[in-house]
Amino acid sequence: QERTSVTLLYTATTGFMTAWVAADQGFFADHGVDVDLQLAQNGSIIVAGVVSGSAQVGLPTPTVALQAIENGLDLRTFASTNIFPETSNAGVVVGAESGIEAAADLVGKTVGVPGIGGLLDVTMRQWLISQGVDVGDVNIVEIALPQTGDAIRAGQVDAVASVDPFSSRAVDMGVGRLIGNYLDVIPDGSAAGIFVTTAEWAEEHPEAITGMQLALAEAADFIRENDAEARESITRYTTLPAPVVANVPFPNLGGALEPETSLGFWNRLALEQGLIYELVDLDTFVIPFPTE
Amino acid sequence: MTALKGLALPVALLVLWQLAVVLSGMQSDTIAAPDAIFAALGRALTEPAFWADTGDTLAAGGMGLALGFGLGTLSGVLFGLIPPVGRVMRVTVELLRPLPAIAILPIALLIFGFGYRLEVAIVAFGTCFPVLVLTEAAVRQIEPRLSEVARALALSPGARVRKIVLPAVLPRLFVALRLAAGIGLIIAITVEIAANPIGLGARLMQASNSLRPADMYATLFWIGAIGWALNWGMLRLQLWLFPATRGAAQ
Amino acid sequence: MRHLHRGLWFMASLALLVALIWGWQVLADARILPRAFFPGPDRTWRALSRGFASGTLVADTLTTLRRLGLGWVLASLLGVGLGALVGTSKWAQDWVAPIFEVLRPLPASAIAPVLLLFLGLTDSMILTLIAFGALWPMLLTTVHGFSNIHPRRKEVARSLGMGRGAFIAKIALPGALPDIMGGLRLGLTVALILVVVGEMITVQGGLGARILLAARAFNAAEIFAGVALLGVIGLVTNALLGLVETRALRWQRR
Amino acid sequence: MLETTGIDATKSGTQEVLRVDGASVRYGAATILDGVDLTLNRGEFVCVIGPSGSGKTTFLRLLAGLVAPAEGRVLFRGAEHRAPSREIAIVFQDYANALLPWRDAEGNVSLALEAAGVPRAERAGRIRALLSKVGLAGSEKKFPSEMSGGMQQRLQIARCLAQEPDVLLMDEPFGALDAMTRQKLQDELLGIVRDSNVTAFFVTHDLEEAIYLSDRIVALEPDPGQVCRVFDVTLPKPRNQLSTREMPEFLRLRRELFDFIERFEP
Amino acid sequence: MLETTGIDATKSGTQEVLRVDGASVRYGAATILDGVDLTLNRGEFVCVIGPSGSGKTTFLRLLAGLVAPAEGRVLFRGAEHRAPSREIAIVFQDYANALLPWRDAEGNVSLALEAAGVPRAERAGRIRALLSKVGLAGSEKKFPSEMSGGMQQRLQIARCLAQEPDVLLMDEPFGALDAMTRQKLQDELLGIVRDSNVTAFFVTHDLEEAIYLSDRIVALEPDPGQVCRVFDVTLPKPRNQLSTREMPEFLRLRRELFDFIERFEP
Ligand SMILES: Nc1ncnc2c1ncn2[C@@H]1O[C@H](COP(=O)(O)OP(=O)(O)OP(=O)(O)O)[C@@H](O)[C@H]1O
Ligand SMILES: Nc1ncnc2c1ncn2[C@@H]1O[C@H](COP(=O)(O)OP(=O)(O)OP(=O)(O)O)[C@@H](O)[C@H]1O
Ligand SMILES: [Mg+2]
Ligand SMILES: [Mg+2]
């Protein structure tokens, strides 16, 4: 059997653990794919890495991938990392003594997000809209997630749309308080992150893609049975302190992609918020799992 | 003695910092006390991976600097010596020169992907133009009498550059090189922070993302130390290369 | 006569630029450059005019210009002032200069997180970032200019009984002016870089933020539009500085 | 006012201004001047001659307080003198470096007035007078780079005169001038020294010039520089370019100096 | 080989080397030289005198090809001459700027030899000979900044001689030298001109020097610079510092030149 080498770009988010486990436990290798995992500094450069050929596969969030397609980059996706609902603590963190209780109180306030135009940002906006707030009345700025606690304490921002472990840490430090999980607006089954490659590479290596799909399915099964090994992989790839990792809840593991269920929500959201100008043809975009 | 004086102020600042952290009993994901930082640095210095990262940054930055500095001096000398060339290129250079290297990162990323090539290209772009401008100015400001001596001796263009132009501009070229090295290091680190998953910048970013401020500041200190050592080494080199400056005391 | 001469060269230089842009268009039309990330001049131009028509690009440009100007002036005052201090005072050379040497190589972008912490996502954070980063070229060139003053001129000052202030104002500064002007130019370039970096970090408006967002959305035409505007800003500010320089260095023409 | 080594300074008599006591100057290991003695009195005109490289410039720098003696002392008005003073003006041999290239002729003269705190309103008039005294009327707006060598040197002289010094140290100030300009400036200088009772120390390699100007001529011997002879010039004053130069005493001195200096033919 | 304006160049007769035809030089709006004519023949020694600022240096720069005439022409060996050539050596008035500060004495002389492609092995010997000819033996390793003014000027002369030029243009080369060194170098120079049949163009403000050296003396009139008189010097050769200077013809010429130049007193 011919072997394929693949460089896979990821960011240190626990949601991507199926890929780590599949690599650590040799599932990829079992299916003829030698995967080299490479950490990207931030999510926004993952697609660029794939397009330039530095990596063959990347793990961006769906909105990013949709925008890339809109702007003429021909991409394919073949699996999801994890799917909603999120199990971990995500939510809008506000100052403990700020008096902000609900979305409506954020009008006129400054809210930090990890990346404007990123998944958390657009979702948070959608949440604001669903709570009857005009997004234009909220000042949305970027901050790095690790600074969630410090930024609120220093008064740089009034609230942060954060995720774990940063949101829990801010709460534990007594700096902040959660006022609601904005990720609730996302329909169950939507993909949180997807495995993306270029159309060109996908056409040339169909068997490698199938191999990876199978390996990811095996990894998901493995994680459900072997908690300790899975946490080891998390520690290795996030370099988070071990006590933090011990308390991290596992994500809702994904796998096969259903165009409408997995990505339909993101496609419409991106259109509504003006990130794309027409809906992306999801059936071309998604490479389905092999039917056994 | 002089070295001691130089150390006084930084040491005082460090002590103040340590005191501030201890007294305020601060617990934070972004600030660490000097003692924790030095402990982290000590630990890092024994890791091979740390040295590999240092090597990556120096190699990528160094290659970029070599390329940028080479291109910059060459075109600077050319532009300075043959004013028509400099004048014709003027608007183009002036338009490209101030472009922040970091603004072309998104595009460079799509072309070069990750790794050395990306970093080398951006560092070269970022250092080439400052060097060009400084070299051109230095060449223009050569004592006109010396240019006349060169003309009177009918020195060939090559000899003119080697015997008159370069020695006359070398001290200023060194200032340019020192500056460019600083800029090169900044750009290399910035590229690594923003995109390139190699080197000290990536380590810095990783430390900051995984809530290890002591490691982050240790890396920052290390970067500072490298820059400082680079500069110090170049000053030595200058004294060694230009013994003629010794008579300038009078 | 001389003006005419200079004007002609400027036109020639402009013509070269136009030719280069035309070549780019040809390459883009021939699809030699990948369209997705190399939009031709035509698409860049369309992005520019769209931005100007909606007014957002004008606002961003003005924001960037204001920050650039303030930050650069701040950096210049600090750089030349500290440079003069180090260049003329043995004391400062011994006690203060070493810490500059330690601080200088610190990548300004790396201290941004620390600045963010103290100053927040504000203009003052961007300005401090610029001041910290753009200070060094001016400081270095000023020190260099000061240390290269001909010893005879120092002796003239001594024999005229000039104080330190008069020496700096009348002999050292004007003598170091060619070097300082070079530093100011370089500082402007660095300041422009840092404005962009700062805006990319804070995403508080300005061309840097605009380019960042365009890059996130893979909108290459808008990236190029932003980059082109930055180029023009650099060109114009430098030309202004060049005018000041020729006026200040009139005596140098021989 | 002729040569005296009197140390006692009384108002009416010879008044010592500058004194060098057994001073030596070294650059690194090389001894340039070795045990030099000299006393300059108020209103006196002393010229220094000696072969090229004998240490004339170094001697002048010692008197100016620009170099410190390795041995011996230099006294200015009785007090040890280690730094330059505004009362001592220096005309440097390398005029090109001593002028500020970014100031025009006016500006360069103005520098001395500014240093002395002369109010702005007064300056313009004094600058014009000084420039025309050295024959630079009409070149007020020229930058040094637009002047001939002789013009630059005259500009430096004008700046030194603007200082209104008590002592005027001049290092081959007329070396770049043509014969006529030179003679005119010689007479101008003698007039200034006479009128304002300035003490002049004048380095030259022109023997006739030395005789014409001096009350006393100091001859330096090279390797290392030493005062090897002092010639008293007893020619009557005021001097005259035609008659003085034809006096037998002038011709005698000229021959004597010439014979002296011939010994050091390189 | 005395003054002739013969244009015809035959091997044995007067051979024209440099010729200036109605040349004018302008800096911006100012006319510095106006319609100057002069012919220099092979082996001839021509001195230029004139008041300070009259355009002597400019005239020399014109002959050197360092400035182009706004009107008229300069011909070198019959061909239009607009750029400097290695066959024409120039001794600049501001010697301090004309030396390479980063090379020592040897290195500065070596520059000319390198330019002429002299093999490395030969250079050392020739450099030593040249330096000792100008009295700088023993100063081979000194940098210009460690030399006195006169030494720097002699170093520049050595470099020009190393060029082995056909034409030697000198701008007040002996201005910074003492009388003895000066006389020695004058004789040295005359010897070189005689032996190697060099053409010399020599700017000076010392009238006696001009007479002693010249076959012909060109006098410049200022504002704008013009050749206003040419004096032929018919003193016998070889010349001698003592006897030549005492000849009646020498004294007559001296008086004539002096009267001439006095007209331009500033
Ligand atoms: N900075 C220096 N370092 C070493 N030696 C020096 C320095 N300056 C001068 N000298 C030496 O000191 C000696 C005397 O120099 P000085 O300039 O005083 O001579 P001078 O009599 O003025 O000569 P000239 O008439 O040529 O100007 C020379 O031999 C010179 O080489
Ligand atoms: N670059 C220049 N720009 C404008 N004017 C100049 C320039 N160079 C020289 N001049 C003017 O040209 C005239 C002649 O100068 P030049 O140097 O030829 O005189 P010179 O005869 O050599 O005088 P000196 O004996 O004092 O050296 C002077 O009036 C001078 O001011
Ligand atoms: Mg001297
Ligand atoms: Mg001249």
Burial class (CB in 10 A: 0-12, 13-18, 19+), D117: exposed
C39-253: CATH number: 1.10.3720.10
Which of the four pLDDT bands, split at 50, 70 and 90, describes residue B3? low
Q: Is the pLDDT of residue D1 over 50?
A: no
For residue B215, give its domain range. Answer: 50-242
The torsion angles phi and psi of A35, rounded to 5 degrees, stand at: -100, 130
Q: Give a yes or no: residue B89 inside a domain.
A: yes
Q: What is the pLDDT along chain C (254 residues), one digit of tens a residue?
A: 455 677 788 888 888 888 988 988 888 777 766 666 778 888 888 888 888 888 888 889 999 999 999 999 999 999 999 888 888 887 877 777 777 767 776 777 777 766 766 676 778 888 998 898 888 888 888 888 888 788 778 888 887 777 888 888 888 888 888 888 888 888 888 888 889 888 887 777 889 888 888 887 788 888 888 988 988 898 889 889 888 888 877 776 54
Task: Give, in order, the Cα–Cα distances in Å from D174 to each of A120, D151, E225, E264.
Answer: 83, 11, 22, 17
State the closest ligand 2 atom to the C-alpha of E93, by its place in the atom list counted from 1: 27
Please list every residue in chain D whose beta carbon sits closer than 8 Å to the beta carbon of residue C155: 64, 66, 84, 90, 92, 98
If you measure from the C-alpha of residue A165 to the centroid of ligand 2, how many angstroms do you get, rounded to a whole number?
79
A67 touches chain B (CB under 8 A): no
Distance from the D163 Cα atom to the nearest Cα atom in chain C, whole angstroms: 7
In this predicted model, which residue has the larger pLDDT, B149 or D168?
A: D168
How would DSSP label each residue in B16-37?
Answer: HHHHHHHHHT---SS---HHHH
Give the tens place of pLDDT for each residue, A104-149. Answer: 888 888 888 887 777 888 888 888 888 888 887 888 887 777 777 7
Please list every residue in chain A whose beta carbon sits closer than 8 Å to the beta carbon of residue C37: 51
- Beta D16-27 vs D71-76: how paired, if at all? antiparallel
Could you tell me if the CB of D141 is within 6 A of ligand 2? no
The torsion angles phi and psi of E54, rounded to 5 degrees, stand at: -85, -10
Inter-residue contact E64 to E98 (CB < 8 Å): no
Instruction: Specify the pLDDT at position E123.
Output: 92
Instruction: Specify the pLDDT at position C35.
Output: 67
Interface of D with E (CB under 8 A): 27, 49-53, 57, 93-94, 96-97, 135, 146-151, 154, 172, 175-182, 184, 205-207, 258, 261-262, 264-266
Which of the four pLDDT bands, split at 50, 70 and 90, describes residue D11? very low
Please list every residue in chain B whose beta carbon sits closer than 8 Å to the beta carbon of residue C239: 94
| Amino acid letter for position E120 | R
Q: Whose C-alpha lies nearest to ligand 1, atom 25?
A: D52
Q: Give a yes or no: residue B223 inside a domain.
A: yes
Which of the four pLDDT bands, split at 50, 70 and 90, describes residue B98? confident
Dihedral Cα C62, C63, C64, C67, nearest 10 deg: 120
Give the tens place of pLDDT for each residue, E156-181. Answer: 989 999 988 999 999 988 877 777 77
Considering only residues 182 to 221 of chain B, which have any Cβ-Cβ distance to chain A shorter than 8 Å?
A: 192-197, 202, 205-206, 208-212
Integer Cα distance of B221 and B149 in angstroms: 49
Rounded mean pLDDT of E61-84? 88
Could you tell me if the CB of E149 is within 6 A of ligand 1? yes
**What six digits make up the tokens of E31?**
């006319």
Residue B198, domain CATH = 1.10.3720.10
Task: Say yes or no for a CB contact (<8 Å) between C117 and A141.
Answer: no
Q: Is the pLDDT of residue E216 over 90?
A: yes
Task: Say yes or no for a CB contact (<8 Å) between D112 and C160.
Answer: yes
Could you tell me if the CB of D149 is within 6 A of ligand 2? yes
Q: What is the pTM of this model?
A: 0.74
Q: Is the pLDDT of residue B246 over 70?
A: no
B117 touches chain A (CB under 8 A): no
Q: Quick check: helix, strand or coil at residue D1?
A: coil
* CB neighbourhood size of D227 (10 A): 20
Q: Whose C-alpha lies nearest to ligand 1, atom 28?
A: D53
Q: What is the ipTM of this complex?
A: 0.70
Which-ligand-closest: CA of D154? 2
Q: What's D49's DSSP letter?
A: E
State the closest ligand 2 atom to the C-alpha of D145, by its place in the atom list counted from 1: 1
Q: Is the pLDDT of residue B243 over 60?
A: no
Task: Say yes or no for a CB contact (<8 Å) between C156 and D85.
Answer: no
Q: Is the pLDDT of residue D2 over 50?
A: no
Residue A153 CB partners (closer than 8 Å, separation 6+): A95, A175
β-sheet bridge partners, residue B229: none
Dihedral Cα A109, A111, A116, A118, nearest 10 deg: -140
Q: Give a yes or no: residue B55 inside a domain.
A: yes
Q: Whose C-alpha lies nearest to ligand 2, atom 10?
A: D146
Closest CA to A213 of A55, A27, A13, A36: A27
Which of the four pLDDT bands, split at 50, 70 and 90, describes residue E10? very low
**What six digits make up the tokens of D239?**
């001097």
Q: Give a yes or no: residue B43 inside a domain.
A: no
Task: Say yes or no for a CB contact (<8 Å) between D92 and C166.
Answer: no
- Ramachandran class of E134: left when φ > 0, alpha when ψ lies in -120 to 50, beta otherwise: alpha
Total domains present in chain B:
1
Q: What percent of chain A has pLDDT over 70?
A: 98
Best mutation site among E26, E36, E52, E58 for ligand 2 pocket (most ligand atoms within 8 Å of CB): E58
Q: Domains (ranges, CATH) in chain E? A: 3-87+166-262 (3.40.50.300), 99-164 (no CATH)
Which of D56, D205, D264 is the best mutation test for E, with the most CBs of E within 10 A?
Answer: D205
Q: Is the pLDDT of residue E3 over 50?
A: no
Instruction: Specify the pLDDT at position C177.
Output: 85
Task: Say yes or no for a CB contact (<8 Å) between B111 and A54.
Answer: no
Q: Give a yes or no: residue B169 inside a domain.
A: yes
State the closest ligand 2 atom to the C-alpha of D148, by its place in the atom list counted from 1: 17
Integer Cα distance of B222 and A64 in angstroms: 35
Could you tell me if the CB of B2 is within 6 A of ligand 1? no
